[in-house]
């Protein structure tokens, strides 16, 4: 994989989601996908910032429409027209499900009302409401209450775990809630080790990966950024020197870098992994 591909990496398989408990809940849902070509609906994914709620919802919706999903894993093929067409610019396209993605940071009550009218009886609509908690203006959540009682299609919503309380209680109660947990440092190290040894082709000792994960505060996004820099080197290698260069701190060669504070600030802003 090229450095930009590593930097912008997003999960394309259900096994890309780490954490034992997360795997268990994902397995249950993908059995539905494999056996019934269907998902429980409405579904609500909650989880910490930056750990894949949006990517997971999209992957499930891709799996529903993919022409050649993997028969064992349910993974979408990522190459058929249905898979390749799944970008927000192609909103309201797809077959057998018409995929509709709504970014609730942008939506207002009138748009939600229109959506509810348009799809109330549409069994072939698969709607994804991202960042549902952001729908707090002027009773914008209320129209969804009746809609969810009637809607025969598939609806998935995502909210950040610590914003769950911003959903009005009758709306919360209508969903089947799937809680995604932040992976442990060990989960992330194991995952990165597998990727580095595999398609990312980066030489990285386990111990160096442990330091990477620890020093980034288990920030997956920052790990990807540093591994992309490692892939720019020749040979493609992650070592302590690169970690010091990118994260600041003591350098083995004695050349102190003084930009730890800057980088820490940037990390916060850039923490958008998988969203
Ligand atoms: Zn496909």
pLDDT value, residue 168: 94
- The rounded Å distance from CA 164 to ligand 1 centre is 32
- The rounded Å distance from CA 64 to ligand 1 centre is 9
pLDDT grade for 273, boundaries at 50, 70 and 90: very low
Q: Does domain 20-182 have CATH number 2.60.40.10?
A: no
Residue written as token pair 């701190």: 249
Phi-psi region at 136: left, alpha or beta (left = phi > 0; alpha = psi -120 to 50): alpha
* Contact in structure between 69 and 76 (CB atoms under 8 Å): yes
- The rounded Å distance from CA 87 to ligand 1 centre is 13
- The rounded Å distance from CA 85 to ligand 1 centre is 9
- The rounded Å distance from CA 79 to ligand 1 centre is 5
Fold of 185-252: Helicase, Ruva Protein; domain 3 (1.10.8)
Question: Could you tell me the residue ranges of all domains in the chain?
Answer: 20-182, 185-252
- The rounded Å distance from CA 49 to ligand 1 centre is 28
pLDDT value, residue 250: 66
pLDDT per position as a tens digit, 187-227: 999 999 999 999 999 999 999 999 999 999 998 889 999 99
Same fold, 20-182 and 185-252: no
pLDDT value, residue 88: 61
- The rounded Å distance from CA 13 to ligand 1 centre is 12
- The rounded Å distance from CA 249 to ligand 1 centre is 45
pLDDT value, residue 89: 57
pTM of the model: 0.84
Q: Tell me how far apart the alpha carbons of residues 90 and 78 are, in angstroms, rounded to a whole number.
A: 15
pLDDT value, residue 86: 61
| Residue ranges near ligand 1 (ion) with Cβ within 5 Å | 66, 76-77, 80, 83
Q: Tell me how far apart the alpha carbons of residues 131 and 113 are, in angstroms, rounded to a whole number.
A: 17
pLDDT value, residue 77: 94
Longest dimension (CA), the chain: 67
- The rounded Å distance from CA 44 to ligand 1 centre is 24
pLDDT per position as a tens digit, 105-137: 999 999 999 999 999 999 999 999 999 999 987
- The rounded Å distance from CA 102 to ligand 1 centre is 22
Work out the average pLDDT over 166-182. Answer: 94
- Mean pLDDT (the chain) is 88
Work out the average pLDDT over 24-52. Answer: 91
Report residue 50: phi and psi, to 5°.
90, 10
Q: Tell me how far apart the alpha carbons of residues 117 and 114 are, in angstroms, rounded to a whole number.
A: 5
Where helices occur in 120-184 by DSSP H, the ranges are: 143-150, 169-174
- The rounded Å distance from CA 191 to ligand 1 centre is 24
* Contact in structure between 129 and 111 (CB atoms under 8 Å): no
With 0-12 / 13-18 / 19 or more C-beta atoms within 10 angstroms meaning exposed / middle / buried, residue 80 is middle
């Amino acid at each position: 994989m090229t450095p930009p591909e590593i930097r912008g990496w997003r999960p394309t398989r259900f096994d890309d989601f780490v954490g034992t408990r997360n795997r268990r809940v994902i397995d249950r849902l993908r059995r539905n996908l494999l056996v019934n070509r269907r998902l429980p609906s409405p579904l609500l994914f909650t989880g910490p910032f930056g750990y894949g709620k949006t990517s997971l919802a999209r992957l499930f919706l891709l799996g529903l429409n993919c022409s050649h999903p993997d028969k064992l894993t349910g993974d979408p093929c990522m190459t058929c027209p249905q898979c390749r067409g799944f970008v927000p610019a192609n909103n309201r396209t797809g077959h057998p499900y018409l995929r509709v993605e709504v970014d609730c940071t942008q939506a207002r009550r009138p748009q939600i009302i229109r959506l509810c009218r348009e799809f109330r009886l549409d069994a072939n609509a698969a709607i994804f409401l991202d960042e549902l908690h952001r729908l707090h203006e002027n009773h914008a959540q209320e129209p969804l209450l009746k809609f969810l009682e009637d809607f025969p299609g598939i609806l998935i919503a995502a909210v950040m775990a610590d914003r769950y309380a911003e959903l009005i209680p009758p709306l919360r109660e209508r969903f089947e809630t799937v809680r995604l947990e932040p992976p442990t440092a060990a989960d992330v190290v194991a995952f990165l080790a597998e990727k580095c040894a595999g398609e990312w082709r980066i030489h990285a000792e386990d111990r160096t990966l442990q330091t990477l994960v620890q020093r980034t505060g288990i920030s997956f996004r920052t790990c990807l950024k540093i591994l992309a820099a490692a892939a720019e080197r020749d040979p493609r290698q992650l070592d302590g020197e690169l970690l010091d260069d990118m994260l600041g701190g003591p350098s083995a060669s004695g050349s102190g870098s003084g930009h730890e504070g800057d980088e820490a600030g940037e990390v916060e802003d850039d923490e958008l992994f998988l969203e």
